[in-house]
A and B are shown apart, each in its own frame.
Chain A
Amino acid sequence: MTLSSTNPPKSLFAVDARTRKRNAAEARFRLYGLIAVGIGVLALIVLLTSVLGNGLGAFRQTFLQLPIALDAAKLDPSGNRDGEAMKKVTTIGYGKVIQTALIAEISQRGIATEGVSAKDIFGLVSKEAPAQLRDQVLANPGLIGQTITFKGLANGRVDGFFKGRVSMESAALDSNISPAQLVLAQQMRDAGMISVSFNPAFIFGSDASELRPESAGLGVAILGSAYMMLIVLALALPIGVAASIYLEEFAPQNKWTDLIEVNISNLAAVPSIVFGILGLAVFINFMGLPQSAPIVGGLVLTLMTLPTIIISTRASLKSVPPSIRDAALGIGASKLQSIFHHVLPLAMPGILTGTIIGLAQALGETAPLLLIGMVAFVREYPGAPPDGFFEPASALPVQVYNFTQRADPAFVERASGAIIVLLVFLVVMNTIAIILRRRFERRW
């Protein structure tokens, strides 16, 4: 009675103060949530636009296209198309051939070259171009004596000019390029001698020195990363799953297993650089494995990934209902049979998701690789596995770091391009994780 006297009955349509307060709190909370999500999305958009804006250019490159007469007298003095003898002609010799052909083509097209010396004209060509031509000829000596259409890299500054990175003003201050050269380059582009097109060498080619950013590629880094992922997958998945099954299903509950459990959780939180130091001390200094090799990187990343895989595998084993184990044991299945026939298949989606997340982490890991020497400049592709595992290679995230350490601003574009490649790999891996999850997921 007292209640109804203090709270006189009201219409359902009138909202009382308490309800209004509750609704206001809910509305506020929704707003905070929206703001939080908004900040996250905004950060992602900024990151993506910055990376894409800077990096997409790396996939396109400026090329020079010109007919070159491959004079036998200059390129194969011995005259019998013998590979060893032809190798005696160095890139300097090929450079002269390109220079001659370039000047001839420019004057033939009637492009004015006042104020630009022959050396400056040749300066429009990448230092990599003679090597490209030489490789082409050595691979196919039959070309000698013919006139071929050669498509070679343009100098990084010219490339930067067409991508908007280099301007007339900056060229005036730049010892590597002059405004007059850029004017000439623009005329050559108008004449169709210079074009900007897709550059597969950025993905498949190998790294290049500081002086020729235009020819730097990610091939060695991608191969090195792929090798390491193979090693991580081949070691961490079986070891991690076996360890989890043992700990979850067989190990007795005592202080030793408790200790192991705590340590595995701690291991997952250990800074990755510590694993690098461990790898340096154990795998390189103690076991004598080669530096910069994918095998060492793979082993270090395996150690790093193991706790992630073990934790997620144990969680998914735990989530399998005990009634399934009872059912199997109850009809006389052995413990191992009940695990392999029933528990493991049900835990599979979780195990695979954990594994791929661990792999994705490992793929992006940089710090431990720096310590084991994978930061070295590597131009040679590692061979096919298993020998290739022991040959020097680079890794994608380290390559990004490497590019950012170089002085030439053209490498900023390369670094962002490498980040795009890395992100594409991560997106692909996460997609695979989702697909596998869907496939293996079963209801019970």
Chain B
Amino acid sequence: MNDMTLTEKPVNASDIKITARNVQVYYGTTHAIKDVDVDIPDRTVTAFIGPSGCGKSTFLRCLNRMNDTISICRVTGNIALDGQDIYDKRVDPVQLRAKVGMVFQKPNPFPKSIYDNVAYGPKIHGMTRSRAELDEVVEGCLRRAALWNEVKDRLHAPGTGLSGGQQQRLCIARAIATSPEVLLMDEPCSALDPIATAQVEELIDELRSQFSVVIVTHSMQQAARVSQRTAFFHLGNLVEYGETGHIFTNPSDPRTESYITGRIG
């Protein structure tokens, strides 16, 4: 599948969505991300892999400034979305997060109805003018999240009453409802069973047509299945970054190779 998609849609270097240069992240005195440079292309799934605690989540959270909510966390360096520095003083992180949506490890729907979960983003951003328009957005997002058929008869039932996999797809629907350009996913399948995982992976592959997707995963198989580009992190360093097929078949760094072959991790 990978090879096919890669030939189908070659990564175009001019189509870079996010560029990160010289990024350092500190938690207090802990240096969690060291000197990371990375270019994340548009309309592509980029996977971050690496052993637990190597800083994948930390780096992902830099991309929508979720690290701002952690008081001891300090980010330096340069991260630009479409060429604009997202850590610039003039940037309101709230506005940024509408453009760079996020899906979390544990499904976290609001304890509200399915409809309200999806409608919340468009509502607070004033994206719709009428109830009918909102209904349309909600339906569209639930369809794109491959959830519509399962929930269309109980839109006003609580979102927390769904199964784990359905909850995670609801969270994805909620994230795409604000029409983001980038979708960040932090181990979105780690709390799901294999069938739900397969559904979400399929969905991620479809989302690629509209968004730049960045997914953190601890499963190398998953990275191989869904991503076109893979970045391997180790102890806060970005060790290797390139086309997924290449990283998995022909890693250039010995650390990558040991991780892929299961010797570290």
Residues of chain A at the chain B interface (Cβ within 8 Å): 252-253, 321, 323-334, 337, 341-342, 346, 442-444
What 7 new A-B contacts, CB under 8 Å, besides A323-B106, A346-B111? A323-B104, A324-B108, A330-B64, A330-B101, A331-B178, A332-B98, A333-B94
What residues of B have a CB within 8 angstroms of the CB of A346 in the complex? 111
State whether A329 touches B66 (Cβ < 8 A): yes
A-B contacts, 23 of them at CB < 8 A, read A253-B71, A323-B104, A324-B110, A326-B69, A326-B102, A327-B108, A327-B110, A327-B171, A330-B97, A330-B103, A330-B175, A331-B121, A331-B124, A331-B175, A332-B94, A332-B95, A332-B98, A332-B125, A333-B94, A333-B124, A334-B94, A443-B111, A444-B160
Query: How far in angstroms is the closest Cβ of chain A from B186?
Result: 10
Query: How far in angstroms is the closest Cβ of chain A from B121?
Result: 4
State whether A329 touches B69 (Cβ < 8 A): yes
Nearest-CB residue, chain A, relative to B71: A253
State whether B101 touches A331 (Cβ < 8 A): yes
Top 10 A-B pairs, shortest CB-CB distance: A332-B98, A330-B102, A323-B108, A332-B97, A444-B111, A331-B121, A327-B108, A334-B94, A442-B111, A444-B160
CA distance A247 to B104 in the complex (A): 27
State whether A252 touches B71 (Cβ < 8 A): yes
CA distance A341 to B106 in the complex (A): 20
Nearest-CB residue, chain B, relative to A331: B121
CB-CB under 8 A for A326 and B66, given A331-B178, A332-B94: yes
What residues of B have a CB within 8 angstroms of the CB of A337 in the complex? 124
What residues of B have a CB within 8 angstroms of the CB of A253 in the complex? 71
Query: How far in angstroms is the closest Cβ of chain B from A261?
Result: 16
A-B contacts, CB under 8 A, total: 69
Query: How far in angstroms is the closest Cβ of chain B from A436?
Result: 17
Nearest-CB residue, chain B, relative to A321: B108
Query: How far in angstroms is the closest Cβ of chain B from A161?
Result: 64
Query: How far in angstroms is the closest Cβ of chain B from A325?
Result: 8
Nearest-CB residue, chain B, relative to A325: B69
Q: Does B120 contact A (CB under 8 A)?
A: yes
Q: Does B174 contact A (CB under 8 A)?
A: yes
CA distance A112 to B66 in the complex (A): 95
Query: How far in angstroms is the closest Cβ of chain A from B70?
Result: 11
CB-CB under 8 A for A332 and B111, given A253-B71, A326-B104: no
What residues of B have a CB within 8 angstroms of the CB of A341 in the complex? 120, 124
CA distance A327 to B167 in the complex (A): 12
What residues of B have a CB within 8 angstroms of the CB of A252 in the complex? 71
Q: Does B41 contact A (CB under 8 A)?
A: no
Query: How far in angstroms is the closest Cβ of chain B from A247?
Result: 14
CA distance A333 to B125 in the complex (A): 8
CA distance A337 to B98 in the complex (A): 14
CB-CB under 8 A for A331 and B97, given A253-B71, A443-B160, A444-B160: yes
